[in-house]
Amino acid sequence: MAIIDIVYPKHCPVCLCALMPGKTLICEPCRKKLKTVQDPVCFKCGRPLRSALREYCPDCEKNPPAFISNTAWAEYGSFYIRRMLSEVKYHGNRQLLDYPCRDFASRLMPLVKRWQAEALIPVPIHKNRLRQRGYNQADEIAVRLGKHLKLPVDSTSLVRRSETSAQKTLGRAERALNLLSAFSWQSVPRKYHSVILVDDIYTTGATLNACTGVLLRSGIEKVYSVCLSIGRS
At residue 120, the pLDDT reads 98
Helical H runs in the chain?
A: 3-7, 58-62, 79-91, 98-115, 127-133, 137-149, 172-178, 206-217
184: which strand partners?
A: 159
Query: Please, what is the Cα angle at 134 between 35 and 200, to 5 degrees?
Result: 25
Given a contact cutoff of 8 angstroms between Cβ atoms, the answer to whether 199 and 210 are in contact is: no
DSSP states of 184-201: EE--SS---SEEEEEEEE
Instruction: Print pLDDT tens along the chain (233 aa).
Output: 455 555 578 999 999 999 988 768 999 999 999 999 999 999 999 999 989 999 999 999 999 999 999 999 999 999 999 999 999 999 999 999 999 999 999 999 999 999 999 999 999 998 998 888 999 999 999 999 999 999 999 999 999 987 665 555 555 556 666 676 789 998 766 679 999 999 999 999 999 999 999 999 999 999 999 999 999 87
User: pTM for this one?
Assistant: 0.90
Class of domain 36-74+109-230 (CATH, top level): alpha beta
At residue 22, the pLDDT reads 75
Query: Please, what is the Cα angle at 99 between 130 and 33, to 5 degrees?
Result: 115
